[in-house]
Amino acid sequence: MRIIRDFDEAKAVLERSTFEIGESRKQEVERIITEVRERGDAALLDFTRRLDGVELESLAASREEVEKAYREVGEELLSALHLAAQRVRSFHLAQMRHSLKEFRQGGLGQILRPLDRVGIYAPGGTACYPSTVLMTAIPAKVAGVKEIVLATPPGKGGVIPSPTLVAADIAQVDRVFKVGGAQAIAALAFGTQSVPRVDKICGPGNIFVVLAKKMVFGVVDIDGLAGPSETVILADDSASPSLCAADLLAQAEHDVLSSSILITTSSKLAEEVDKEVERQLRGLERRTIASQSWQQRGRIIVVKDMEQAIELVNLHAPEHLSLMVRHAPSYVDRIRNVGAIFIGESSPETLGDYVAGPSHVLPTGGSARFSSPLGVYDFLKSTSVIALSDSELEALGPAAATIARAEGLTAHARAVEQRLEQEGKR
């Protein structure tokens, strides 16, 4: 790994560039969405057979399948899932209490209402991600969403992996459907004979899922357009090279497109971490993926001080940031653009992925500049309340009518002026 020591070069490397998606992929996703809208369940069953190689009799997972999944999941994993669910629920209950308020101020106010129905997408097929189910469904449940629907690709034999089904049950998901990819997003957005139409779709997926979410936005809401996962470690000479390398590789093993970046004020640490990554790679089950990710998208950057380091972090706006520096909490207020901050060696990103409490669904691709982690607020909508008195009508009406006439909207103006005339007669 070549270590970058020039600050301007580091800025050029970390500044986001536009990611172009091929027209053929867009057209394929458009075709899938159109087929699902026109043919409903028949299209979903066809796509599942053609794309997943699975012949399904029913799109919905049955209660018998859930009960079988519980029998297949070991006690250790079941206990871990319950612990994770408890911590995710506890965090979002606190978020609900402290972050969102209804209010009335005079005749004005805001009321909050949960969404009626939410669709959760969890990647699957050859792998399973029960943590994604917990991290998306539980905040929705805490927010008061009436119905939560999960879509996830079926595995071999048309069966959803047991950990995913158990996690859905623990998170109180109402219905689970064996459908993945762009076709699942289309089904959730428009509804089919079996899959109900939802108000919002949340959860990560591959490029086809992301494209589909982008295309159906406006018909339904979405949580965001998740890209490859990414982490930045900000470290000084007090950091452990072994732990830095372990955290970089934990990110790299996600996907060949994942990015793992070390920014450090210590040349010695940079060189030690570079060697430690190569040593630890040899012992990984997913070393081929991790090695490719590290070679293609990994970076080690040496800066002269923390000022430069923080500037690079805010420029890059990463999904995850680990602070492995002395007096780590003192730097938090200066970090503006990041999805989640992990402070100190006792707070590895892995805990945030599974059991810390906040949702691990975070902004990627630089979108931390303008968006937030998934939370209860994603499942609530606010409604403005306006209840003005006669005296407020008299005070505000003339200004409203004047602005309306300036905009050429005379009917708007007359709607106010008639009220003022009637009030004057009274």
Instruction: Label residue 330 exposed, middle or buried (CB < 10 Å: 0-12, 13-18, 19+).
Output: exposed
H/E run at residue 95: helix 75-99
Nearest to 291 by CA among 360, 245, 238: 245
In angstroms, what CA-CA distances link 74 with 70, 168, 196, 202?
8, 16, 32, 28
Is 319 a catalytic site residue? yes
Catalytic hit among 92, 254, 316, 320 = 320
Catalytic hit among 230, 253, 272, 319 = 319
Contact predicate 358/123, CB 8 Å:
no
Alpha carbons within 13 A on the beta-carbon side of 226: 22
- Chain position carrying tokens 């905009």: 407
Q: How far apart are CA 154 and CA 215, in angstroms?
A: 24
Contact predicate 151/192, CB 8 Å:
no
H/E run at residue 301: strand 299-302
197 DSSP assignment? P
Could you tell me which residues are beta bridge partners of residue 260?
231
The number of residues in the chain equals: 426
> How many other CB atoms are there within 10 angstroms of residue 409's CB atom?
13
Q: Give the tokens for residue 381.
A: 């909508």
> Strand locations in 309-368, DSSP E?
320-324, 340-343
Q: How far apart are CA 227 and CA 367, in angstroms?
A: 10
- The CA-to-CA distance between both ends of the chain, in Å, stands at 83
> How many other CB atoms are there within 10 angstroms of residue 385's CB atom?
13
> How many other CB atoms are there within 10 angstroms of residue 300's CB atom?
23
Rounded to 5°, angle at Cα 222 from 365 and 118: 140
Q: Give the tokens for residue 221.
A: 């809401």
Contact predicate 207/364, CB 8 Å:
no
Q: How far apart are CA 224 and CA 103, in angstroms?
A: 28
Rounded to 5°, angle at Cα 123 from 120 and 125: 130
Which residues does the annotation mark as catalytic?
A: 319-320
